[in-house]
Amino acid sequence: MKTRAVRLYGKKDLRLEEFELPAIKNDEILAKVVSDSLCMSSYKASSQGAEHKRIPDNVADNPIIIGHEFAGELLEVGSKWSHKFKAGDKFSIQPALYYENGPVGVLSAPGYSYPHIGGDATYVVIPNEVMEQDCLLAYHGEGYYPASLAEPLSCVIGAMHANYHTRPGSYEHKMEIVDGGKMAILAGVGPMGLAAINFVLRREEVKPSLLVVTDIDQSRLNRAASIYTVEFADSHGIDLRYINTGKMENPVEELKAISGGTGFDDVFVFAPVKPVVEQGDAILGFDGCLNFFAGPDNPNFSAMLNFYNVHYAYTHIVGTSGGNNNDMVEALDIMSKGLDPAGLVTHIGGLNAVADATNNLPHIPGGKKLIYTHIEMPLTPISDFAKLGETDGFFKELAEICDRHNGLWSVEAEAYLLSNHPTTRNA
């Protein structure tokens, strides 16, 4: 079967190409990709090329398909896996395989390491190791984009689980955020910060009593507050505050005051910016845990840490950058119970938009860029649909659908796009 895919050959060398996929073996699965959300990790992979730890050294001669936040439909299942999967099943994939015999060893991952599987393609061959590691996950919800966004949601779920706390006199660490504690999410209204807010507010068990979300961009704070409202948080027992620290004379002291003077139990840093990291350290309370979530490009990135507090106040730091299988399952489960990740999405595009968008991702404002691989469409902000609709009936209808959903993407909008976009390539 022929596929169209965006392949990486080297640093910033992404090419949209059509080529023949090999016939599947009895331990492989042929699948149709429907959606993929672009990730900053793909930008880093493209920027580093073969120097990236997940990308094979011979990528110039054996290019890989990029994209790892994808969902679609299974088309043909090899006999080894026919007891577990069948044609027609919708799927999501956990790309972190931790499979020692992959192309680059334990760090091998779809979207980084494989020539025939990645999210920015029309059709892919899912290799045996994905199933062996239980990383092919069934998706039973409506639409496809929620399954694409399950991967980034799993990353913030993993971050919550990775935080830990201690008890004086004991060497045992209690994993998880503090239930009923005080949490701060710094630089928290980008795509991943929004995912974290959404999860914290929808979570049924462990949750903070106070959630402070900071940024220095008031328009992004306003958008976040309109989607994940203070009123909704209050109905779930959470005191939610959106704070512009750029307008504060002394952010550390003022944030501490909001905490009641004690500091915060759990602080998540969603931007690799030295002052933000240091601010996070400074607002930690006793036994506070700082989670450095945002991975920097610079391998020499560093920030100051108050070691007096490490010694006497038991403050500590962890770093997370992804989720595991359990986190993906939890993400899919919580979405089936009502969590809609549409608030993360600000742009829609086709496969033709992937290469340029990926290589310029840090410079494109907004949240998640959602790609539908079977259409041709420039990367387009949802906020531009109404203007485009003045001369284009397709965008007029799409804008009206989004308006019915508080200006957000939706299963209804996705279904309309896939059925009516003039460049849709059907299976």
Do you know the residue count of the chain?
427
pTM of the model as a whole: 0.87
Report pLDDT digits (tens) over 233-290.
Answer: 999 999 999 999 999 999 999 999 999 999 999 999 999 999 999 999 999 999 999 9
Query: Which of 52, 120, 46 lies closest to 360 in space, CA to CA?
Result: 46
SS3 call for 243: strand
- pLDDT at residue 387 in the model: 97
Which of the four pLDDT bands, split at 50, 70 and 90, describes residue 335? confident
Helix orientation angle between 393-404 and 411-420, rounded to the nearest 10 degrees: 170
Query: Is the confidence at residue 427, as pLDDT, over 50?
Result: no
Report pLDDT digits (tens) over 295-329.
Answer: 887 889 999 999 999 999 999 999 987 788 899 99
Q: Within 10 Å of residue 262's Cβ, how many Cβ atoms?
A: 12
Give burial (CB, 10 Å; 0-12/13-18/19+) of 172: exposed
Query: Is the confidence at residue 347, as pLDDT, over 70?
Result: yes
Euclidean distance between CA atoms 224 and 229, whole angstroms: 8
Window from 8-12, 55-59, 212-216, 329-333 with minimum mean pLDDT: 329-333
Euclidean distance between CA atoms 89 and 339, whole angstroms: 21
Contacts from 99-106 at CB under 8 Å and sequence distance 24+?
99/129, 99/132, 99/133, 101/129, 102/129, 103/56, 104/53, 104/54, 104/55, 104/56
Nearest-10 Cα torsion for 140, 379, 117, 108: -100
Average pLDDT on 46-68 reads: 96
Query: Is the confidence at residue 7, as pLDDT, over 80?
Result: yes
Report pLDDT digits (tens) over 107-147.
Answer: 999 999 999 999 999 999 999 999 999 999 999 889 999 99
Host H or E run for residue 357? helix 354-359
Q: Which amino acid is at 398?
A: L
Report pLDDT digits (tens) over 358-411.
Answer: 999 999 998 899 999 999 999 999 999 999 999 999 999 999 999 999 899 999
Q: Are strands 29-37 and 123-126 parallel, antiparallel or unpaired?
A: antiparallel
- pLDDT at residue 426 in the model: 61
Average pLDDT on 150-159 reads: 92
Sign of dihedral through CA atoms 336, 338, 341, 342? positive
Residue with tokens 């512009």: 244
Where helices occur in 216-268 by DSSP H, the ranges are 218-227, 230-235, 251-258
Q: What percent of the chain has pLDDT over 70?
A: 100
SS3 call for 319: strand
Nearest-10 Cα torsion for 299, 344, 268, 261: 140
Average pLDDT on 32-50 reads: 95
Helix orientation angle between 191-202 and 218-227, rounded to the nearest 10 degrees: 30
Q: How many CA atoms lie within 13 A of 119 on its CB side?
A: 33
**Where does 78-180 show beta strands of DSSP type E?**
90-93, 123-126, 136-138, 164-165, 174-175
- pLDDT at residue 295 in the model: 81
Backbone angles phi, psi at 133, to 5 degrees: -90, 10
Q: How many helices (H) does the chain have, and how many strands (E)?
A: 15, 19
Query: Which of 391, 416, 392, 413 lies closest to 402 in space, CA to CA?
Result: 413
Structure tokens at 302: 């560093």
Q: Within 10 Å of residue 49's Cβ, how many Cβ atoms?
A: 17
Where helices occur in 360-410 by DSSP H, the ranges are 385-388, 393-404
